[in-house]
Amino acid sequence: MHHSIFSSVVCLICSGHYIIFFCFLFSSNRRLPSLWQSFKFYISSARFLLLLFYCTVMMQRSLRLCSKSLFWRDFPHARLVVLNRESALNAMNMEMLKEMRRAYIQEPHPKGEACLFVLKGMGTKSFCAGGDVVSITKEKETAEEFFYREYQLNYHILTMPNTQVSLWNGYVMGGGVGVSVHGRYRVASERAVFAMPETAIGLFPDVGASWFLPRLKIPGVGLYLGLTGARLKGADLVHAGLATHYVPSASFEELEGRLCEVENALDVEACLQQFAVKDLPPFTLENDRKTLKDIFALREELTIQDIFGALSANGSNFAQATIELLKKMSPTSLCLCLEMLKRGEFLSDPAHAFSMDYTAAMRSCANSDFSEGVRALLVDKTK
């Protein structure tokens, strides 16, 4: 980039001097303007060249940002990180993971540990719709590197001293959950749509889900979300404990600006409270809380067969709809998800959850359920 800018400057300066010199000779031969007028003409031309150079630099910078899957902008006490694959719903690919590592680890903000991270997705349709699993299933080596980088980044965000605020607008799924749910603050708008849909493609809820799903506020809701891939929206995310604040999407731009101006991480909570809705709409699954607790609350002896049996015996509309969801999922993935969440409930160190994720992910990649699920659901769209 520096070379291209330098070339542009040289071309502009050289061409500018030729133009000015030609105009000066032309005017001198005809004795029209005075020397002072020629000098003023030179100055105005120089200003024009500087303006043209500035526009060239800004245009090249904009093109560079548009071509990046992720970019960031630094403020005195904050770093705004933008997931920049809007046409792909900001899905996580290898380039994005590498750029996030640069932003979070390799190229630290001048404030170091005092820096506030603000994470958002480009556009309003999606924060991040998950990982680019289509490319992952093509080569085993790619899958190994992708999952390793992803879980390493998730764990870093969970354990780093920096405060992170994630702005959930639109889809928040899979890999998008991993880079945000482990941060201190998650702000959901009415457009936020959360899901962990991995069991539908022969995978399992990963990115540390065995750590955070068993620890949600509502008993049973974590296992329910993990098994069914069901979606929670808007204020429901605060009720469940997935989001920390609920802010209307119309206020997101102003909130983002205020967060980037915060001078102390201790002031972030006060800033969020100024925008957050205090009186939340009721939880949409309020009438099914007892069913969630009775059927999906984690216990050592629980099996997938037990869950199907209890749902059939329940007979409610919610139970019947849940049965239909579970029938669409990979049986292997359902069993794996249940086992991992049962183990995750009693873990004392989240590092073990990510280690378990990586082992399970490598075995899932060797299982035909994963590649077949991706092909059927995302490539051929026959599922």
Out of 99, 132, 150, 198, the active site residue is 198
Q: Please state, for a pLDDT cut of 70, what percent of the chain lies above it.
A: 78
**Residue 136's pLDDT is what?**
75
Mean pLDDT of the 183-206 span:
97
Among 70, 91, 93, 92, which Cα is nearest to 82's? 70
Confidence of residue 266 (pLDDT cuts 50, 70, 90): confident
Distance of alpha carbon 100 from alpha carbon 104, whole angstroms: 6
**Residue 93's pLDDT is what?**
94
Mean pLDDT of the 279-286 span:
97
| Strand arrangement, sheet containing 193-195 | 126-128, 171-173, 193-195, 232-233
Q: Where are the alpha helices (DSSP H) in the chain?
A: 2-29, 35-67, 94-101, 133-136, 140-159, 175-178, 209-212, 221-228, 236-240, 252-261, 268-275, 289-296, 304-314, 317-327, 331-344, 350-365, 368-374
**Residue 23's pLDDT is what?**
45
Structure token pair of residue 315: 């007979």
**Residue 214's pLDDT is what?**
98
Tell me the pLDDT tens digit for each residue of 288-341.
999 999 999 999 999 999 999 999 999 999 999 999 999 999 999 999 999 999
pTM of the model: 0.81
**Residue 13's pLDDT is what?**
43
Distance of alpha carbon 103 from alpha carbon 166, whole angstroms: 15
Mean pLDDT of the 204-223 span:
98
**Residue 34's pLDDT is what?**
59
With both helix axes pointing from N to C terminus, report the angle between 304-314 and 331-344 in degrees, rounded to the nearest 10. 100
Residue 193 vs residue 266, higher pLDDT: 193
Distance of alpha carbon 334 from alpha carbon 223, whole angstroms: 10
Domains of the chain listed by start with CATH number: 69-379 (3.90.226.10)
Structure token pair of residue 175: 């890999």
Judge whether 1 and 65 are in contact, CB under 8 Å: no
User: What does pLDDT average to over the chain?
Assistant: 86
Q: Which residue has the tokens 């958002």?
A: 120
Judge whether 167 and 120 are in contact, CB under 8 Å: yes
Structure token pair of residue 13: 């300066």
46: number of Cβ within 10 Å: 14
349 is catalytic: no
Distance of alpha carbon 205 from alpha carbon 224, whole angstroms: 11
Mean pLDDT of the 193-206 span:
96
Out of 121, 131, 170, 373, the active site residue is 131
Residue 79 vs residue 266, higher pLDDT: 79
**Residue 265's pLDDT is what?**
77
Distance of alpha carbon 72 from alpha carbon 83, whole angstroms: 9
On the question of pLDDT at 238 being above 60, the answer is yes
On the question of pLDDT at 227 being above 60, the answer is yes
Structure token pair of residue 137: 């299933």
Tell me the pLDDT tens digit for each residue of 336-383.
999 999 999 999 999 999 999 999 999 988 776 666 666 666 666 655
Out of 121, 175, 183, 234, the active site residue is 175
Tell me the pLDDT tens digit for each residue of 2-59.
444 444 444 444 444 444 444 444 444 445 455 556 556 556 655 655 655 544 444 4
Tell me the pLDDT tens digit for each residue of 99-142.
999 999 999 999 999 999 999 999 999 999 998 877 776 776 78
131 is catalytic: yes
Give the residues across from 120 on adjacent strands.
82
Structure token pair of residue 34: 């005075």
Out of 132, 150, 206, 288, the active site residue is 206
Distance of alpha carbon 82 from alpha carbon 62, whole angstroms: 14
Residue 233 vs residue 31, higher pLDDT: 233
**Residue 367's pLDDT is what?**
72
**Residue 55's pLDDT is what?**
43
Mean pLDDT of the 196-215 span:
97
**Residue 336's pLDDT is what?**
97
Q: 3-state DSSP call for residue 79?
A: strand
